[in-house]
Amino acid sequence: KKIAIINGPNLNLLGVREPEVYGKQSFHDYFQILQSKFPKVELTYFQSNIEGEMINEIQRIGFEYDGIVLNPAAYTHTSIAIMDAIKAITTPLIEVHISNIHTREEFRHHSFISAVAVGTIVGLGLKGYDLAIQYFLSK
Ligand code: DQA
């Protein structure tokens, strides 16, 4: 199976950025753990701080892959453009948030992405990505 992970803005700083909220592990290190845990899965990883680049990637892989695991980061709460891109594609998508956005500031409580995702995983740390992959493999 082909599964893509897409991370949005500031997630290139995982491990360094607010470690009390997002943990101490870099995504690069975690991605290597995922690759060794799921050796039969063709896993790809893309990160961008730029909304349009994320949309280009969603469109590029969105008719070909078996699943997309997306953490849109702050664009979760603002981006109708990313929501529309997900509506346009055929690949099912799971939304992941490392922190529990519902226990944080009010402006993080609403997601434009949840309505167009198969499901959403929040607050389980990096394990959320692992669980999303397991879901796609069970299909
Ligand atoms: C986040 C939550 C967002 O509110 C925030 O803007 C992020 C990360 C998370 O993974 O917990 O950048 O998506």
- pLDDT recorded at residue 62: 98
Joined together, the tokens standing for residue 137 give 């493999």
- CATH pick for 2-138 out of 3.30.565.10, 3.40.50.970, 3.40.50.9100, 3.40.50.12660: 3.40.50.9100
CA nearest 97: which of 115, 114, 81, 118?
A: 114
Q: Sign of the C-alpha dihedral, residues 52, 118, 33, 24?
A: positive
CA of 52 to the centre of ligand 1 (A): 18
Which residues line the annotated binding site for substrate? 71, 77, 84, 98-99, 108
What letter represents residue 106's amino acid? E
pTM > 0.90: yes
Substitution site in 16, 18, 21, 22 for ligand 1 pocket (most atoms within 8 Å of beta carbon)? 22
* pLDDT recorded at residue 79: 98
The answer, yes or no, to whether any atom of ligand 1 lies below 6 A from the CB of 71, is yes
For residue 120, give the nearest of 94, 138, 99, 102 by alpha carbon. Answer: 94
- Domain residue spans of the chain: 2-138
- As a whole number, the mean pLDDT across the chain is 97
State mean pLDDT over 94-118.
98
Per the structure block, which two tokens stand in for 36? 């060794």
